[in-house]
Structure 1
Amino acid sequence: MSAQRDMKEKNPWHTPVTIIFSVIGVIAIVALVTVAVLQNRPLPQKYKYGIVLDAGSSHTALYIYEWPAEKDNNTGRVEQTLSCKVDGPGISSYASAPWKAGKSLTKCLEQARQKVPVKRHSETPLYLGATAGMRLLNLEDSSASTKVFQAVEEALQKFPFSFQGARILSGQEEGAFGWVTVNYLDDRLEQNLQTRGALDLGGASTQISFVSDNFDGSDSPDNAVAFRLYGNDYNLYTHSFLCYGKDQALRKTLAQQTKSGPGTILDPCFHPGYTETKNYSVLYDSPCVSDRKPQGAPATFNHTGKGNFSRCQEVVKRIFNFTECKYSQCSFNEVFQPRLQGPFGAFSAYYFVMNFLNLTDTSIPLEVVTERLSRYCATPWNQVKEQHPGVKLKYLAEYCFSGTYIVTLLTKGYNFTSENYPNIKFIKKIKGSDAGWTLGYMLNLTNMIPAEAPDSPPLPYAGYVSIVTVIALLLFVLFIFSLRPLWPRCSKHPQII
């Protein structure tokens, strides 16, 4: 027993100093790892919000976006959290009763009030952008346009958000911001991937926007927009055709067919058996066609469908000018357009019409698309109504025309062919957010996309913690080995008898 006691007394590991140093070393290592983990652990996410109202020609929609509040310079990923379609037509339709334009927005704004946390209300920017419908109203009656905006602004200012104003977007802005939205949501900007062109079709205008290596803006400076995003420069071609949205294009085709003021027209763009009495003054109540109203026409005309795709396409082509071009190449109406390049995303009415017609799959050959449209347009009106009982008759009646118009616009207008037509992707949403100009508009106004690529940590969080842990363990092992001179030698262990 005395020998064992002597051995313990001579063993340096049993000295108080060694024990104290060992304990301190272990505590230091544990503290280092704990602090690293706690300091860098993911925290509960806090968000900021932005609200954009898209006041289009046929309707208004409200969108709420959110992004992480802790990101430096508000560079967090922006996502759509709510979309609300305003009841009733677009605000331009309330020219004779402007106060109704403001009142129509209340229901969706109340939803926004509930969705955005109260503590964020006062710092949440609220924007309203009006597009082609208000552009047309401003051309036709600027006083009425001003009164509509006054009513809208009064309604928006009653809510607790940070109202940033209501304005009419130019066609160039609408096209450019749609391009930003599509490529931002697809992560093509931050990752420096090939960008996707944007094809937007509304009720009163249509936009085409894409990056082309053959376009530097010198041929048509009005169609050039330059962006510097995430450290990359983009020279964007964009053009907006006012009066070539699907609703105004329909007016233009009807105007072509009624220019002599007949009492009846046989329209190949509507189904056989379709018939409706329409008012001349209503048809020509738009700046897009008002100067073409026939003199001495009766008050109404009988609109009768014949359902013939080929003849419909011939009627549609008459609203375009394909013969004159003062540039090296044009789309239509003497507008310069560079050679198409890269993939394209087609959204808004492009998607909704082609989705109804079950033609969003662009792997279907273009020839098959036209064959299916031909069969659909030739379907009797009564049969179409039986097949789609839940669709409003006004919209249902126009799908033959709208599908024909889209194919004609893409192929004859923008020069898509059977070879590059599959490059088009018809899209409604990208990663849960609606495709359209609103997100790009907000990103631009809030500087959410930096001009230069933001710096990022050299290591992800998990990698960082792993390396710190390994280094800490290595230091502990080295500390143990540093005490090697104090280790007891086996040869010196006393023999126990």
Structure 2
Amino acid sequence: IILQRGNLMKEKNPWHKPVTIIITVIGVIAIVALVTVAVLQNRPLPQKYKYGIVLDAGSSHTALYIYEWPAEKDNNTGRVEQTHSCKVKGPGISSYASAPLKAGESLRACMQEAEQRVPGKRYHETPLYLGATAGMRLLNMENSSASEKVFQAVEEALQKFPFSYQGARILSGQEEGAFGWVTVNYLDDRLEQGLETTGALDLGGASTQISFVSDNYDGSESPSNSVTFRLYGNDYNLYTHSFLCYGKDQVLRMALAHQTQTGPESILDPCFHPGYNATKNYSILYDSPCVSDRKPQRAPVNFTHVGNGNFKQCQNVVKSVFNFTHCNYTHCSFNGIFQPLLQGPFGAFSAYYFVMNFLNLSDTSIPLETVKEKLARYCATPWNQIIQQHPDIKLKYLAEYCFSGTYILTLLTEGYNFTSDSYPNIKFIKKIKGSDAGWTLGYMLNLTNMIPAEAPDSPPLPHAGYVSIVTIMALLLLILFVVSLRPLWPRCSKQPQII
């Protein structure tokens, strides 16, 4: 009997070979390393951010906005968000025409806040812009040298701060409307996803803008109202128009000018509450290019402004500032200005929101006739009762809400042609996803090229899917490795032969 002991031991214990053990360990380490590298490679990195600052120099006040976006993505898919806002104390910079240095000084407090909000290491690369709107447009029309001095004072003040100052200038009405439209649709993710866009309704103190995309408008009729954008690979032909002098403050001047054409010593104004009584100066009322040519001759120094709170009569007064008598186009809004048929939803912001929110009329699901009835009851409320209900609001602003509300409804329905059916398409908004609605974000996005003209590339697989596939492949490699060792497996089927 011959027992092949040596060969039997070799067949039963092939895994004990040092070389085999080393290969197996190395293979396992390689596979673990593969999975580890794949996971680490796809792990989100700590975010670094870039910043931008825009000053909105409006007719009634100036506001500062700070924007932030991921530095790694920049103008790819990085979401630009507003991180801070600061309202400058005092009136708009156009009010400092007689003392321009004060215009620059007024910005200091908010700029110091910006220094605290933006990391110091980002100062030198943070762009700083100032855009002035209708208030400075009017000042530039009235006194261009005064306008230049205000800008000079503002620039000297801003250049003292450590940011990358990019200049201060007056925006055209078309730019203000178009950038407001970009802001609203960018924040609502409508541009990147190629969704139906939202129209933009902006109301300031000295001007108002309407901007929207209409399938019936290709820009051939009234080309001056056309703006073309290519954003995220989609082309947008935008209708936009800005009405200078039709902001709520200047319209109030025009309405009072209509009522004081004969230079009376007293007027009974249906747009102010019953019991309202104030003495006002003719020179101050007509101290604006919007009404300066209408100042009555031989008028007294002052007039008494008395309210009687009648909504329907107030509507007639407001209508007096519009001209509906001529239109040389297929469709017009007012004053002979072309406007295509309204289309899609609209976001109404700035003074639209603040006035309608104060009046508790910002819910557009309420029928239009009900809105008018509620406003009529508000206007008819005695002035002393209004003061008691709102003790914390300055009397000047409080007195004007009846007029402003009436003007907004008249502008939307009589001016822009919203009907009881299309009025619910309007949404009064203050912010979208934490950012203020307005032109400032769109302005910065345009100047920093933060919106790509083409849709950004995206990875073929999401992070989780990529890790899963790598893991499966690693397991497959392990199985193949084990299978490759099959020749070394114990040959259990072969029994030792005894002869």
Tell whether the structures are fold-level matches, with TM greater than 0.5.
yes
CA distance in 1, matches of 2:95, 2:425: 36
Q: Where do residues 58-207 of structure 1 align in structure 2 (5 Å cutoff)?
A: 58-71=60-73, 73=75, 75-207=77-209
- Given that 1:332 and 1:413 are in contact with CA atoms closer than 8 Å, whether structure 2 keeps it comes out as yes
- Given that 1:207 and 1:241 are in contact with CA atoms closer than 8 Å, whether structure 2 keeps it comes out as yes
CA distance in 2, matches of 1:181, 1:354: 21
User: How far 1:9 sits from its partner (Å)?
Assistant: 6.7
TM-score (norm 2): 0.97
User: How far 1:76 sits from its partner (Å)?
Assistant: 1.4
CA distance in 1, matches of 2:284, 2:162: 40
- Given that 1:8 and 1:14 are in contact with CA atoms closer than 8 Å, whether structure 2 keeps it comes out as no
- Alignment equivalent of 1:312, drawn from 311, 314, 320: 314
- Given that 1:57 and 1:134 are in contact with CA atoms closer than 8 Å, whether structure 2 keeps it comes out as yes
- Given that 2:76 and 2:452 are in contact with CA atoms closer than 8 Å, whether structure 1 keeps it comes out as no
CA distance in 2, matches of 1:125, 1:261: 50
CA distance in 1, matches of 2:469, 2:16: 33
CA distance in 2, matches of 1:6, 1:398: 106
User: How far 1:73 sits from its partner (Å)?
Assistant: 4.4
Most deviating of 331-340 and 17-26: 17-26
Q: Where do residues 241-260 of structure 1 align in structure 2 (5 Å cutoff)?
A: 241-260=243-262
Aligned length: 494
- Alignment equivalent of 1:365, drawn from 355, 360, 367: 367
CA distance in 2, matches of 1:245, 1:73: 34
- Given that 1:351 and 1:426 are in contact with CA atoms closer than 8 Å, whether structure 2 keeps it comes out as yes
- Given that 1:68 and 1:74 are in contact with CA atoms closer than 8 Å, whether structure 2 keeps it comes out as no
- Alignment equivalent of 1:480, drawn from 479, 482, 497: 482
- Classify the secondary structure of the residue corresponding to 2:147: helix
Match of 1:491 in 2: 493
- Classify the secondary structure of the residue corresponding to 1:278: strand
- Given that 1:362 and 1:425 are in contact with CA atoms closer than 8 Å, whether structure 2 keeps it comes out as yes
Match of 1:233 in 2: 235
- Given that 1:224 and 1:237 are in contact with CA atoms closer than 8 Å, whether structure 2 keeps it comes out as yes
Match of 2:447 in 1: 445
User: How far 1:493 sits from its partner (Å)?
Assistant: 6.6
CA distance in 1, matches of 2:128, 2:271: 41
Q: Is there any run of 5+ residues in structure 2 with no aligned partner, and where?
A: none
Residues 273-332 of structure 1 show CA distances to partners (whole Å, capped at 9, x for unaligned) of: 011000000000000000000001111100001001000001100100012100011000
Residues 58-93 of structure 1 show CA distances to partners (whole Å, capped at 9, x for unaligned) of: 000000001011115465110000100000000000
- Alignment equivalent of 2:437, drawn from 435, 438, 459: 435
Most deviating of 68-77 and 400-409: 68-77
Residues 100-158 of structure 1 show CA distances to partners (whole Å, capped at 9, x for unaligned) of: 00000000000001111111001110000000000000000000000000000000000
CA distance in 1, matches of 2:137, 2:237: 26
Residues 324-353 of structure 1 show CA distances to partners (whole Å, capped at 9, x for unaligned) of: 100011000000000000000000000000
CA distance in 1, matches of 2:76, 2:102: 36
1:198 is matched by which residue type in structure 2?
Answer: A
1:362 is matched by which residue type in structure 2?
Answer: T
Q: How high is the sequence identity, in percent, across the aligned residues?
A: 83
User: How far 1:485 sits from its partner (Å)?
Assistant: 2.9
- Given that 1:7 and 1:494 are in contact with CA atoms closer than 8 Å, whether structure 2 keeps it comes out as no
Match of 1:208 in 2: 210
User: How far 1:20 sits from its partner (Å)?
Assistant: 1.6
Most deviating of 84-93 and 19-28: 19-28
TM-score (norm 1): 0.97
1:114 is matched by which residue type in structure 2?
Answer: Q
Query: Are residues 1:262 and 2:264 paired?
Result: yes
- Given that 1:7 and 1:493 are in contact with CA atoms closer than 8 Å, whether structure 2 keeps it comes out as no
- Given that 2:11 and 2:491 are in contact with CA atoms closer than 8 Å, whether structure 1 keeps it comes out as no
Match of 2:295 in 1: 293
- Alignment equivalent of 2:466, drawn from 436, 456, 464: 464
- Classify the secondary structure of the residue corresponding to 2:63: strand
1:177 is matched by which residue type in structure 2?
Answer: F
CA distance in 2, matches of 1:54, 1:113: 18
Match of 1:19 in 2: 21
1:251 is matched by which residue type in structure 2?
Answer: R
CA distance in 1, matches of 2:369, 2:461: 52
- Given that 2:219 and 2:225 are in contact with CA atoms closer than 8 Å, whether structure 1 keeps it comes out as yes
User: How far 1:38 sits from its partner (Å)?
Assistant: 1.5
User: How far 1:214 sits from its partner (Å)?
Assistant: 0.6
Residues 415-453 of structure 1 show CA distances to partners (whole Å, capped at 9, x for unaligned) of: 000101100010000000000000000000000001111
User: How far 1:7 sits from its partner (Å)?
Assistant: 4.4
CA distance in 2, matches of 1:296, 1:59: 34
User: How far 1:474 sits from its partner (Å)?
Assistant: 1.8
CA distance in 1, matches of 2:329, 2:357: 35
Counterparts in 2 of 1:4 and 1:391: CA distance versus 1, 3 Å: farther
